[in-house]
Copies of this chain bind each other. A is one copy, B any other.
Amino acid sequence: MSVAVSDNAALVEELAALLGRPYVTTPDEDQEPYVVDWRGRYHGRAAAVVKPASTAEVAEVVRLCARHGVALVPQGGNTGMCGAATPDASGHSVVLRLDRLNRIRAISPLANSVTVEAGCILQTIQEAAAGVDRLFPLSLGAEGSCQIGGNIATNAGGTAVLRYGTTRELVLGLEVVLPDGTVLNRLQGLRKNSSGYDLKQLFIGAEGTLGIITAASLKLFPRPRVSALAMVALPEIEAALTLMGRLRDAVGDRLASLEAMSRGQIEVIAEHVPDVAIPFALEAPWYLLIELTDTLAGTDLRTPLEEVLGAAFEEGLVTDAVIAESGAQAHALWKIRHSVSEGSKRAGYVVSHDSVVPLENQALFARNVERRILEAMPAARVVMHGHIGDGNIHVLAILDPARFPDGAAAAPVAARINAVVDDETAALGGVISAEHGIGLSNRARLGRVTDPAEIALMRRIKALLDPAGMMNPGKVLPPEA
């Protein structure tokens, strides 16, 4: 480590002069929270971890690093699933944290928009919206610690996509520092704009490889005032989509969430997460959380929900059902869904997937991957949960922690399982990442199943915006053949 320090001494000194010494963390200090990813799979090193306080300081850091030929790794809450925010092991790059850009710059209930800095915690934005009687709909497991800049950089999904769309669809404007230190600023929050190319789209989902998002203007929505939640047991996964159609016929766009879990997934949660109450005997192969919401107080959502479920029960589309009778019960049902990551992580080494396929192919996808993973690795515990209305089913192959204590031990098996899932995804017209991104862990896989013409164009865009390769190198784009 001393080598990296002495190599980078001049850089660190300049960074400290620019930002103040407390905002530069060197390898001699505790960098651990910033150089290891949330899942503990990647362990990097950094010449420095820096925390600029403003967009101007971010731009200065970018220019300074460019002069030194040092790569930058932007990092938000470091809750990503794919290693996109972890530096490599060389110790020569700089991790740029956005924590101190954490102001809500403006909020307008009239325009239904909010302008926030990239380091704002997602939950803080949700609360600010609620404070003006509005909804910011992005919602996901890490919302208490993830930062909006990271959500935008990965085009995060979550549990409200069915009704409100992905993060990309929630972004009205962006402020971005380009790899040459130029600041692009389109934060007006305009709902319509056909004035030339929509440059901000380039940076959404680019995981920091084309520039650093420093602020965003986001959509707000009328706040739902009533909701109804049910959890139902299904005889087969196809029933979930049939139910979706029935619910849409009955309540239109009041259908807000449809979250499916396989029986195995719920068993994993029951075994490993305390204080989760499962309201079923777990005799069915699939379970589905259904949430309806309405922005109009007094709307009766419970009656149509009961009617749809009653009819479905008569037909055998649903074999059991619980409707939440209170906010506390609703919370308890959602807690099952929100315990998915924690429970799975404790159950063993998780080879997890984020595929999305056309809705029509979803059931086939679920069956085929389960069968093919078990053929390839009979000892795997294959469980699934997913955003069933989006075509996005997370397939998890959980490996025995005694046999596979870490990523190195699991790597060959994981590669085999990944190949099975990716091939099936591609064969059914899907893509391998719906909402987690590509980062480090999925770049080779992306290259394997994506049209080479697309990859070639991605590479050309990367080379255009970041010719020196200073922005989060080694992420997203597949390794060169």
Contact = CB atoms under 8 A, between A and B. Distances in A.
Interface stretch (A19-27, A246-254, A329-337): A246-254
A210 B201 CA distance: 15
A260 to B, nearest CB: 15
A438 B196 contact: yes
Interface stretch (A32-40, A266-274, A353-361, A365-373): A353-361
Contact of A356 (B133, B186, B190, B221): B190
Contact of A453 (B184, B196, B460): B184
Contacts of A457: 178, 184, 197, 199
Interface in A198-252: 198-199, 201-202, 204-206, 210, 221-222, 224-225, 241, 244-245, 248-252
Interface string A174-203: 000010001111101111111111110110
B185 A458 contact: no
Interface of A: 108-112, 133, 154-157, 161-162, 165-166, 168-169, 178, 182-186, 188-199, 201-202, 204-206, 210, 221-222, 224-225, 241, 244-245, 248-254, 294-296, 354, 356-360, 387, 389-392, 429-438, 442, 446, 450-451, 453-455, 457-458, 460-461, 464, 476-477
Contact of A188 (B199, B245, B430): B430
A182 B434 contact: no
A1 to B, nearest CB: 34
Nearest to A154: B194
Contacts of A199: 454, 457-458
A129 to B, nearest CB: 14
Given A111-B391, A169-B169, A197-B205, 16 more contacts: A157-B192, A161-B192, A168-B198, A183-B453, A186-B454, A188-B431, A190-B358, A193-B431, A195-B434, A196-B205, A197-B476, A198-B201, A199-B454, A222-B253, A252-B294, A253-B295
B110 A359 contact: yes
A9 to B, nearest CB: 33
Nearest to A193: B431
B110 A245 contact: yes
Contacts of A225: 252
20 contacts: A110-B360, A111-B360, A111-B391, A157-B194, A178-B457, A183-B453, A184-B453, A190-B358, A191-B389, A191-B392, A193-B431, A195-B431, A196-B205, A196-B438, A196-B477, A197-B205, A197-B457, A197-B476, A252-B296, A254-B296
Given A110-B359, A360-B108, A195 B392 contact: no
A248 B458 CA distance: 41
Query: What 5 A-B pairs are tightest by C-beta distance, nearest first?
Result: A252-B295, A201-B201, A222-B252, A111-B359, A192-B434
Contacts of A109: 245
Contacts of A434: 190, 192-195
A165 B360 CA distance: 25
A435 to B, nearest CB: 5
Contacts of A435: 192, 194
A390 B244 CA distance: 31
Nearest to A478: B196
A341 to B, nearest CB: 17
A458 B195 contact: no
Contacts of A241: 110
A196 B359 contact: no
Contact of A358 (B188, B294, B392, B464): B188
B451 A194 contact: no
Nearest to A165: B169
A437 B201 contact: no
Contacts of A390: 191-192
A431 to B, nearest CB: 4
A461 B458 contact: no
Contacts of A295: 251-254
A186 B426 CA distance: 12
A423 to B, nearest CB: 15
Contact of A391 (B166, B192, B460): B192
A471 to B, nearest CB: 13
Contacts of A442: 195
Contacts of A357: 188, 190
A177 B256 CA distance: 36
A184 B454 contact: yes
Contact of A184 (B204, B248, B451): B451
